[in-house]
Amino acid sequence: MNNNKILVTQPVMPSLHEFIPYLEKIWESKWLTNNGQFHQQLESELADYLGVKYVSLFANGTLALLTALQTLKISGEVITTPYSFVATTNALWWNNLKPVFVDIDPDYHNLDPEKIAAAITPNTTAIMPVHVYGNPANVERIQEIADIYGLKVIYDAAHAFGVNYKGTSVLNYGDLSILSFHATKVFNTFEGGAIISHDEKTKKRIDYLKNFGFADEVTVTAPGINSKMNEVQAAFGLLQLKGLNTNIEKRKAIAEQYNEGLKGIKGIKLFNEFPGTKDYNYAYYPIFIDEREYGKSRDELYFHLKENGIFGRRYFYPLISNFPIYKGLESSNIGNLEIANITAKKVICLPIYPDLASFEIDRIIKLLETQ
Ligand SMILES: *Cc1c(COP(=O)(O)O)cnc(C)c1O
């Protein structure tokens, strides 16, 4: 047993020393939340960095998802992927919506657009795809289908910070996209999130909804919630943004070292970027184990790594559709989600974070070779 534990991710912390002046400003102003100075500045800097029109900051990504569904008054049934973090479907449940699961494609692990149409009923109002691992979903086909059937598209883009697709931010597709700035994500504000919108009217509605529905002191426009980001989180985000490009470069170098070390191993399939992807963020490093070729199952490998202090994660296993709370849905039927079920049994995400040392990566590669 090696005591040098390596987890799947580790947040990057900017220098504490550099954070103090931000805190001093907050202490001086006594303005702690409600669209403060740092909040406004972070919305504007993120819009520039990401190449999007409007950013509305949130306390976390889940509240952004809940609020995005309220913004567009989604009702009835929503088509989504079972191959994601459980918050994607939970957000539908909390809005009293019926999740309808559609299978993923085997190459890029995102919602298979060719299977969406068969799942549409008169009650379908929206599609909620995920850009899994930051890999763009097939945004063009999804939009075509949404246009034909008159559906809204809300992307759970929690993994896709900074990713571009064919010359524009992937966040510019669909009606709305949500981001998460949780400690484990590429860009973090301890906890945090955002909704990306494309016109001023929608941005306004989002901003009312996240503040109880208030438009001004005496006008409540909708039954809103409290999901605002506070000034300490926003200040931390401004400081994080400064080191972000360097950190993504470091992630890229790690992914390249893994690619080089693992490409010759039989039974290990590596991650592929969806054609047209630009500025991939290396948020995750998933590999897919073919038990027969590799000579060991994914779980055997997972526990072998664990015994050696390497804590990979089986993202995404179990599938959302296999959790007892969602298993009863008709669309959770395993026959309907064949590829997702197969993928969930093959995947392990290996550790990737900017401070992961090169010799540690070599150690992980050795463990994968000599299992
Ligand atoms: C992290 C994550 C969320 C939730 O974001 P929080 O900020 O943790 O609430 C939602 N969807 C996906 C796909 C995620 O990975």
Check which CATH number belongs to the domain holding 347 and give it. 3.90.1150.10
Query: For residue 13, what pLDDT band results from cuts at 50, 70 and 90?
Result: very high
Q: What average pLDDT does the segment 34-43 reach? A: 97
pLDDT of 4 reads 77
Atom of ligand 1 nearest to the CA of 159: 15
Query: For residue 370, what pLDDT band results from cuts at 50, 70 and 90?
Result: confident
pLDDT of 2 reads 46
Question: Which residue shows structure tokens 């200040």?
Answer: 235
Whether residue 271 is found in the same domain as residue 293 = yes
Ligand 1 in contact with 133 (CB < 6 A)?
no
Ligand 1 in contact with 60 (CB < 6 A)?
yes
CA distance 38 to 255: 33
Q: What average pLDDT does the segment 210-228 reach? A: 97
Pocket mutation for ligand 1, best pick of 84, 85, 130, 195 (most atoms within 8 Å of C-beta): 85
Ligand 1 in contact with 233 (CB < 6 A)?
no
Pocket mutation for ligand 1, best pick of 133, 180, 284 (most atoms within 8 Å of C-beta): 180
pLDDT in tens, 222-265: 999 999 999 999 999 999 999 999 999 999 999 999 999 999 99
| CA of residue 354 to ligand 1 center, whole Å | 20
Ligand 1 in contact with 82 (CB < 6 A)?
no
Sign of CA dihedral 154, 155, 161, 163: negative
Whether residue 248 is found in the same domain as residue 238 = no
Backbone angles phi, psi at 218, to 5 degrees: -120, 0
Residue 5 belongs to some domain of the structure = no
CA distance 235 to 39: 7
Whether residue 193 is found in the same domain as residue 248 = no
Whether residue 331 is found in the same domain as residue 258 = yes
Q: What average pLDDT does the segment 108-132 reach? A: 98
CA distance 67 to 58: 9
Whether residue 96 is found in the same domain as residue 222 = yes
Ligand 1 in contact with 134 (CB < 6 A)?
no
- Show the domain range for 95: 16-242
pLDDT of 325 reads 97
CA atoms within 13 A on the CB side of 316: 22
- Mean pLDDT (the chain) is 97
The overall longest dimension of the chain from CA atoms, in Å, is 68
pLDDT of 213 reads 98
Q: Is the pLDDT of residue 184 over 80?
A: yes
Query: For residue 205, what pLDDT band results from cuts at 50, 70 and 90?
Result: very high
Whether residue 139 is found in the same domain as residue 274 = no
Whether residue 122 is found in the same domain as residue 205 = yes
- Give the residue ranges of DSSP H helices in the chain: 16-29, 37-50, 61-71, 87-94, 139-149, 200-209, 231-262, 291-294, 298-307, 324-327, 338-346, 358-369
| CA of residue 87 to ligand 1 center, whole Å | 6
Closest CA to 112 of 129, 92, 97: 129
Ligand 1 in contact with 280 (CB < 6 A)?
no
Question: Which residue shows structure tokens 């909704």?
Answer: 195
